[in-house]
Amino acid sequence: MRENLFRKIQNGEHPMPSAAVTLGAQIIEISAELGSIVIEFEGKSAFTNPVGNIQGGFLVAMLDDTMGPALAVTLREDEFAPTLDLTTQFIASAKIGKLVGYGRVVSKGKNVCFLESELKQNGKLVAKASATAVIRQIPR
Amino acid sequence: MRENLFRKIQNGEHPMPSAAVTLGAQIIEISAELGSIVIEFEGKSAFTNPVGNIQGGFLVAMLDDTMGPALAVTLREDEFAPTLDLTTQFIASAKIGKLVGYGRVVSKGKNVCFLESELKQNGKLVAKASATAVIRQIPR
C-alpha cells in the first residue's frame, strides 16, 4: 500500500504533487485502514472571485485533493485511480485563510470506488463533494 | 447588464478576478444575448497531479470560471449569482498547456439558473460540467 509514501510526504521526506503545493496542502491525519484523510489547505488571495471569496472551483480542487489521497493511500504501488465524476454542493462562502478537508472512501470495490469529502473553515461546513473513481493498473 | 464590464476585462481595461488570473484566463468570445462565453485557460505545471496531468479539481476551477461568467454577463450590475452545486464528468486527461472552456446558460429563471460547460484541449473534450446558480441582489 501507498501508506508509506503518504507518511513520507507528511514527514517532508517526499515532495508533494504540484497541485497540492499550489493549494497549500498539509496532511494532518491518514488512515489507510479506514480510507480516510484530513488535509489542511490554504485559501489564498490568488483563488478569490470578484467578491473576494474563494472561487468555488478552487474549493472543488481542495475537495478533489482530499478524496484522491483518501483512496490513493489504500492502493497498491502499481495502481492508480482516476476520478470519473465529481459533484459538489456549495454550502457557505469561504474566506481567505485555512480550510480543512475531510475525505473518506465510502466503498472500495474491485474497480469502482465511491468517495466523499467535506471542506470546513473555522469548523463550519463550506462545501461537500462525492466522487466516483476507478482503480487501474499503472502501465509498465 | 454586465456585458460592458466583461468587454473591459477582455480589452484589458479592467482587472480580472484573482482566481481567473491564477488560471491564466483570457476571454475569447462573449455573447450576453446567448448567455455564452469562450475562455482560454493555461494548464500550468503548478496544477499537476502525481502523474503530471492537470489535477481534476483545477479542471473544475476552469469549468466553474467558464459557467460563472457566462451567467454573470447577463446579470444587472446589482445582481450576483452564487453557484449552489456543480457536477463534473472527467472524460480524458489534460496535459500542461492551453485549455478552452465553452460555457452557456441553459436556462435563466427569475432566480434559478442552470448552466453547462465543456473544457477542451487541442479540440478534444476533456471534461464537462453542469451547475445550478441562484440570482441574488448585491446587498447595499
Contact B56 A17 (CB under 8 A): no
The grid coordinates listed for B86 are 456543480
Contacts of residues B43-47 at CB distance under 8 Å and 24 or more positions apart, as own/partner, are B43/B94, B43/B95, B43/B96, B43/B97, B43/B98, B43/B99, B43/B121, B44/B96, B45/A18, B45/B96, B46/A18, B46/A19, B46/A21, B46/A22, B47/A18, B47/A19, B47/A22
One-letter identity of residue B71: L
> Which of B23, B67, B85, B136 should be substituted to probe chain A, the one whose Cβ sees the most A Cβ atoms within 10 Å?
B85
d(CA B55, CA B26): 20
Q: Which one has a higher pLDDT value, A4 or A128?
A: A128
pLDDT band at B10 (very low <50, low <70, confident <90, very high): confident
Q: Identify the closest residue of chain A to B46 by CA–CA distance.
A: A18
**pLDDT per residue over B45-96, tens digit each?**
999 998 899 999 999 999 999 999 999 999 988 898 999 999 999 999 999 9
Lowest model confidence (mean pLDDT) among A127-131, B12-16, B19-23, B49-53: B12-16
Q: What is the pLDDT of residue A13?
A: 84
pLDDT of B3 over the 80 cut:
no
Average pLDDT score over residue span B20-47: 94
Average pLDDT score over residue span A35-54: 94
Average pLDDT score over residue span A87-96: 98
Q: What is the mean pLDDT of chain B?
A: 93
Q: What is the pLDDT of residue B9?
A: 82
Global pTM value: 0.93
CB A46 within 8 A of CB B36: no
Average pLDDT score over residue span B107-132: 97
The grid coordinates listed for A85 are 465524476
Percent of chain A at pLDDT exceeding 90? 78
d(CA A1, CA A6): 10
**pLDDT per residue over A59-85, tens digit each?**
999 999 999 999 999 998 889 899 999
> Which of A44, A71, A88 should be substituted to probe chain B, the one whose Cβ sees the most B Cβ atoms within 10 Å?
A88
Fold exhibited by the domain B3-137? Thiol Ester Dehydrase; Chain A (3.10.129)
Query: CB contacts < 8 Å between A and B, how many?
Result: 114
Domain ranges of chain A: 3-137
Q: What is the pLDDT of residue A1?
A: 58
Contact A47 B80 (CB under 8 A): no
pLDDT band at A8 (very low <50, low <70, confident <90, very high): confident
A27 strand-pairing partners: A39
Which residues of A lie closer than 8 Å to B, measured between beta carbons? Answer: 17-19, 21-22, 45-51, 54-58, 60-65, 68, 80, 82-90, 93
| Backbone phi and psi for residue B83, each to the nearest 5 degrees, phi listed first | -85, 135
pLDDT of B1 over the 70 cut:
no
pLDDT band at B115 (very low <50, low <70, confident <90, very high): very high
CB B63 within 8 A of CB A58: no
Q: Which chain B residues are closer than 8 Å to A86 by Cβ?
A: 56-57, 60, 87-88, 90
Q: Which chain A residues are closer than 8 Å to B83 by Cβ?
A: 56, 90
Contact A64 B82 (CB under 8 A): no
- As a dihedral over the C-alpha atoms of residue A6, residue A78, residue B122, residue B14, rounded to 10 degrees, the angle is -10
d(CA A89, CA A47): 18
pLDDT of A140 over the 90 cut:
no
- Going by the DSSP 8-state scheme, the letter that residue A110 receives in this structure is S
d(CA B54, CA B87): 18
pLDDT of A4 over the 90 cut:
no
